[in-house]
Amino acid sequence: MKHFINLKDIPSKDLRKILIDAKKRKKLRKNLNTLEIDKGSPLKGKMLVQMFEKASSRTRISFYLAIKQLGGGTLTLRSNELHLGQGGESISDTAKILSTYGDGFMLRTDSDKKVENFKKYLTIPLINGLSPSSHPTQVLSDVFTVEEIKKKPISKLKICWIGDSNNVLDSLIAASVKFSFKLNIGCPKRFEPKKKVKDWVKNNNKKIYIYNDPKRAAKGADVIFSDKVISLNDKVDKKKKIKNFKRFKINKKLMSCAKNTCIFLHCLPRGNEVEDEVFLGNNSHVWQQALNRVHVQKSILLYCFGKLR
């Protein structure tokens, strides 16, 4: 049994194994319908419990499809409907109950501490479906999408992030170390990645390149990533933060600083950090990016259940 909580804690060779499996499985599903089960039904009879303390469209649906296509099923919970969320039951007791009924647990929460506590008490695999410091299933899937479109290892590409230093960027930074790719970050000075994150990169003998000028960050990029300036439950002065990011809006002019083959990716949901001309333009692959989450999460589930070939 393995957890999938932070990319930084998972060996590179395991992450690569997951991507190789996802590529094979995606190819084999070409002629199958949405709910048809993969040959061999590798997770037959298994139940993934998913719990969302914050909104989700893609993570919820893609995990539902992922476990279904492997022969298992899912139960989706909202914590405020449980004794846990009502404040009457401890994490340790809830974790024991989840481990009794279910085979795997996916959690989206506003608290990294809660993720750690669940990990402590669960006896089934735990998957982080987004926490304040990490969105690992999203970013591993994004690495898959980049390699699928560019048809080369991500280590040979120049990746750029324009936007807030949030959970998605933290996971992208972890991925840049695990997969050895060059990562430029374009953000206002006061929204740079936290010292803890920068120190982790340094301690791993890697470098990330931070620019407070979006054009310099985008220069020569093969891929530009972005995410909402205001994350779910971001407790900031929203108007002020959006104003701080005004110069960082992704439009055609900014894209023209990158290579002319540069693609645009965004995990969704989007805010006003990107213009329609880019988001809906020819170089945008955001829908393929969203779909790939199903394929990669299937291989993540197999990894967690000890069934990765």
Beta-bridged to residue 264, according to DSSP, are: 224, 284
Query: If binding is defined by CB under 6 A, does position 268 make contact with ligand CP?
Result: yes
Query: If binding is defined by CB under 6 A, does position 231 make contact with ligand CP?
Result: no
| Binding to ligand NVA in span 137-166, by CB under 6 A | 166
Picked from ligand CP, ligand NVA, none, the partner binding residue 171 (CB below 5 to 8 A depending on kind) is: none
Half-sphere exposure of 196 (CA within 13 A, CB side): 5
Query: If binding is defined by CB under 6 A, does position 168 make contact with ligand NVA?
Result: yes
Picked from ligand CP, ligand NVA, none, the partner binding residue 57 (CB below 5 to 8 A depending on kind) is: ligand CP
Q: What is the DSSP letter of 204?
A: T
- Cβ–Cβ contacts within 10 Å for residue 33, how many? 7
Query: If binding is defined by CB under 6 A, does position 74 make contact with ligand CP?
Result: no
Q: Strands 182-186 and 209-211: what pairing? A: parallel
Q: Please, what is the minimum distance in Å from the beta carbon of residue 230 to ligand NVA?
A: 8
Q: How many angstroms separate the CA atoms of 264 and 262, rounded?
A: 7
CA Rg value for the chain: 19
Q: Out of 178, 228, 293, 298, which residue is the one contacting ligand NVA (CB under 6 A)? A: 228
Phi first, then psi: give them for residue 60, nearest 5 degrees.
Answer: -60, -50
Query: If binding is defined by CB under 6 A, does position 293 make contact with ligand NVA?
Result: no
Q: Out of 7, 10, 26, 56, which residue is the one contacting ligand CP (CB under 6 A)? A: 56
Alpha carbon of 159 to those of 39, 120, 248, 279: distances in Å?
35, 35, 16, 17
In the complex with ligand CP, the residue whose CB is nearer, 99 or 226, is 226
Q: Which stretch binds ligand NVA (CB under 6 A): 18-26, 30-38, 72-80, 224-232?
A: 224-232
Q: Please, what is the minimum distance in Å from the beta carbon of residue 270 to ligand CP?
A: 10
Tokens representing residue 142 in the block: 């994004």
> Is there a contact between 250 and 224 (Cβ–Cβ < 8 Å)?
yes
Instruction: List contacts with ligand NVA (CB under 6 A).
Output: 130, 166-168, 227-228, 231-232, 267
Instruction: List contacts with ligand CP (CB under 6 A).
Output: 56-59, 130, 138, 267-268
